[in-house]
A = this chain, B = another copy of it.
Amino acid sequence: MNFEQEMKKKVEQIQNTIMSYLPEETGFQKTLLEAMNYSMRAGGKRLRPLLMMETYRLFEGNSKVIEPFLAAIEMIHTHSLIHDDLPAIDNDEYRRGRKTTHVVYGEAMGILAGDALLNLSYETAAKAFSLEPGNHNVERAFSVMAQKTGIFGMIGGQSVDVECDKTEFSKEKLEFIYCLKTSALIESSMMIGAILAGASDEKVKVIEQIARKVGFAFQIQDDILDVTSTMDILGKPINSDEKNHKTTYVTLNGLERAREEVNRMSKEAIALLESLEEKNEFLTDLILYLINREK
């Protein structure tokens, strides 16, 4: 099986796991549940659960305790997309080739569907407590998930990004945003995989460093694609950063410098991964694929 076939198979498995944790669309709150599932089913690369699962495998994890976390991390990611797209924030009408949640279900339901997915991520991850009661690694994974999502992670980064639309801008601030807004959730994914598999604190720290570089490179690649790709390929409008007068790594440093940075980060991440005695060849290929992707 080549990388692309293997990737397809793994994404399918993760997709099934995620779907099994989505709520049934019944009861008085049916619209809310539909709006949540609409967003979760929109597809996407399932990159974060995939990285979590492969890091779990790297450290030879082999229990069902990982499954609720695979779904939970994708719920957090989808929560952030729904709220980012809202009229008061990025005001985006398309995402992954489909209308955004608030366009289909209205703004109030968009806000609540985002809230509900963020909360459901914790409700879902908490199912791991019943699978292995009193397992402190599950508790640690939970704490990391909450920290990396919050004010010193994804949501904190997003708040600075929102403010930067109207304030002065520096290289330092841009790197802060990329670290928090994009890398934090990738760090969370890979660290949870390592922690649940029982990796040492020292190794969890190496994984965090790898993930930070992967997230950073991933975000710069996103900026590059925004100016070099087409709407057909991306499934969302291109040149949206320019349209929104948004400062990105590309507008700040130019396309060539951006490509060099992606290349450097990518090499550093792989070198760190290879420094570990544990091996997962697919994880190496996956990181290279994600960083050098064309959509």
Contacts and interface: CB of A to CB of B under 8 A. Distances in A.
Contacts of A136: 129, 133-134
A119 B32 contact: no
Contacts of A129: 136, 139-140, 142-143
Given A86-B111, A134-B134, A28 B160 contact: yes
A171 to B, nearest CB: 13
Interface in A105-150: 106-112, 114-116, 118-120, 122-123, 126-127, 129-130, 133-136, 138-140, 142-143, 146-147, 149-150
Nearest to A146: B123
Nearest to A28: B160
Instruction: Count the copies.
Output: 2
Given A29-B159, A109-B159, A156-B116, A150 B133 contact: no
Interface range on chain A: under 10, 10 to 19, 20 to 34, or 35 or more? Answer: 35 or more
A165 B180 CA distance: 38
A89 B113 CA distance: 13
A32 B150 CA distance: 11
Contacts of A109: 159, 162-163
B150 A116 contact: yes
B123 A147 contact: yes
A271 interface: no
B118 A143 contact: no
A1 interface: no
Nearest to A31: B163
The residue among A114, A139, A151 with the most chain B CB atoms within 10 A of its own CB is A151
A286 interface: no
Given A107-B88, A139-B134, A142-B126, A29 B115 contact: no
A83 interface: yes
A190 to B, nearest CB: 19
A107 B111 CA distance: 12
A29 B151 contact: yes
Contacts of A126: 139, 142-143, 146
A206 interface: no
A39 B86 CA distance: 22
Sorted from nearest, which 4 A-B pairs have the closest CB atoms?
Answer: A32-B159, A123-B146, A88-B107, A129-B139
